[in-house]
């Protein structure tokens, strides 16, 4: 497999919480319904969970951008809503792409690592191109 791009992002949770709390903010529109349900279910501090998901979206966009070096971007301005952080039955996070993002990276393998400690939340992403198996003629 070939690595298409890597991305990393770090978010200050308190600043993110402040931005979420501003009247009229459009920040929540960058999160898909499943992400909002997950974060709001964390009654202790939903902003921490939103912040780490924002970091993941930014890390995907950065990895994506590095894969497009010297070529125009493939997705419009609001890619955030096209990138979703989902959790499996054991709580492990992964990335699910929607709409144009899914079309741009069909079959790509996206590795994700999330962390939050104190007032910081971070995410690391590696995008891999899947192996292409070419049949050998017999």
Q: Is the pLDDT of residue 55 over 80?
A: yes
Number of domains within the chain: 1
Q: Tell which wins on pLDDT, 118 or 107.
A: 118
Task: Tell me the CA end-to-end span of the chain in Å, nearest whole number.
Answer: 25
Residue 137 lies in a domain: no
Tell me what the mean pLDDT of segment 4-31 comes to: 91
Contact 128, 111 (CB under 8 A): yes
Rounded CA-CA distance 52/38 in Å is: 12
Residue 134 lies in a domain: no
Residue 65 lies in a domain: yes
Provide the pLDDT for residue 59: 95
Contact 122, 104 (CB under 8 A): no
Residue 26 lies in a domain: yes
Provide the pLDDT for residue 36: 93
What digits encode the pLDDT tens for the residues 29-52? 899 999 999 999 987 889 999 999
Residue 107 lies in a domain: yes
Contact 116, 51 (CB under 8 A): yes
Contact 110, 45 (CB under 8 A): no
- Residue 9, annotated as binding a ligand: yes
State both tokens at 41. 């279910």
Residue 15 lies in a domain: yes
Residue 118 has what DSSP assignment? T
Residue 135 lies in a domain: no
Residue 7 bridge partners (DSSP):
125
Rounded CA-CA distance 43/16 in Å is: 17
Residue 106 lies in a domain: yes
- Residue 129, annotated as binding a ligand: no
CATH of the domain at 103: 3.90.470.20
What digits encode the pLDDT tens for the residues 66-86? 766 656 666 666 788 999 999
* Domain membership of residue 106 as a residue range: 2-129
**pTM of the complete model:** 0.86
């Amino acid at each position: 497999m070939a690595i298409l791009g890597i991305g990393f992002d770090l978010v200050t949770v308190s600043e993110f919480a402040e931005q979420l709390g501003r009247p009229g903010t459009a920040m929540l529109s960058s999160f898909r319904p499943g992400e909002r349900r997950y974060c709001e279910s964390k009654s202790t501090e939903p902003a921490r969970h939103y912040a780490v998901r924002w970091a993941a979206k930014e890390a995907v966009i950065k990895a994506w951008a590095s894969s497009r070096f010297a070529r125009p971007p493939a997705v419009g301005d609001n890619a955030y809503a096209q990138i979703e952080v989902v959790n499996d039955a054991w709580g492990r996070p992964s990335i699910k792409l929607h709409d144009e993002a899914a079309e741009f990276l069909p079959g790509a393998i996206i590795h994700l690592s999330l962390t939050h400690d104190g007032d910081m939340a971070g995410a690391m992403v590696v995008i891999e191109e899947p192996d292409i198996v070419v049949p050998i003629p017999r």
